[in-house]
Structure 1
Amino acid sequence: MSVHAVISAVTEKIEKRSREDRRRYLDRIEQAVARQPKRKALGCANIAHGFAACNPHDKDMLRNGAGPNLGIVTAFNDMLSAHQPFETYPAIIRD
């Protein structure tokens, strides 16, 4: 059996073994896409704090519900702080 055939056989075995789990995973992803972000249920004060530290592009995405709710949680969450303690961190860390 050639290396290519071995790789194909192993790939097929993995696909077969994980078919049901992958189907369930893809179903969950599809359901998540169908749900709207919960931002519309936040009170005005919470929305203001959530948007305050964002750049204009991100604010538009959040306002229109176009972006996912992703972020890095720190011991002191910069996004929800009007004081922005991490403002001077390098952009690659903050973004």
Structure 2
Amino acid sequence: MKKFLTGLMALMLIVSAAIAQTPAKATKKEATKKEATAAAPTKKDGTPDKRFKENKQTAKSEGPKKKDGTPDMRYKTNNKDAGKKKS
């Protein structure tokens, strides 16, 4: 009986591994394409490539900044929810 159960477990393991290795069916996903300027580099799917300076859109704040250059959210000028009650 032990040999039978061991063989059955081995068979199930091999079958499950074989099923897991089959490639998934390729489906075409239509990605939402963002329009970028003609001079700005884009990825293969048409979205802007964020590695380039022209494609980075940074939010400019006029308040104090931390050492790394990001806005310090402790100040009202940088935090739109500052002073509001949390619900």
Q: TM-score, normalised by structure 2?
A: 0.34
TM-score with structure 1 setting the length: 0.32
Higher RCO (CA-CA < 8 Å; seq separation 6+):
1
The structure that has the greater radius of gyration is 2
Q: Which has the higher helix share?
A: 1
